[in-house]
Amino acid sequence: MKRFLPLIITLALGQALQAQKMRDVFAAMPDSVLGIMTKNNRLDCIDFIENDMEAKVRNRFDGFSVLKALTVDYLDLQLTPNCRVEMKLLPAEDTLNYICVARTYSGPVTETKVTLYTPDWNVLPEEKWIPFPAYADFWETNDSVDKEEVSRLQHLQDMRFVTASLQPDDMRLTFVLQPGEVDKEEAERMKKVLRPVVYEWQGKRFVLVDGK
pLDDT in tens, the chain (212 residues): 445 544 444 444 444 444 689 999 999 999 999 999 999 999 999 999 999 999 999 999 999 999 999 999 999 999 999 999 999 999 987 668 999 999 999 988 899 999 999 999 999 999 999 999 988 888 776 766 677 777 777 666 666 789 999 999 999 999 998 876 666 776 667 777 788 999 999 999 999 997 54
User: Is residue 137 helix, strand or coil?
Assistant: helix
pLDDT of residue 82: 96
Instruction: Please provide residue 79's backbone torsions phi and psi, each rounded to the nearest 5 degrees.
Output: -70, -45
> Which residues have a Cβ under 8 Å from the Cβ of 171 and sit 6 or more positions away?
88, 90, 200, 201
pLDDT of residue 3: 53
Task: Please give the model's pTM, rounded to 2 decimal places.
Answer: 0.83
> Which residues have a Cβ under 8 Å from the Cβ of 38 and sit 6 or more positions away?
31, 59, 60
Residue type, 54: E
pLDDT of residue 19: 63
CA atoms within 13 A on the CB side of 52: 0
Residue type, 118: T
Q: What is the DSSP letter of 71?
A: -
* 110 neighbors 116 (Cβ within 8 angstroms): no
Distance CA 20, CA 16 (A): 6
pLDDT of residue 100: 98
pLDDT of residue 158: 62
pLDDT of residue 166: 98
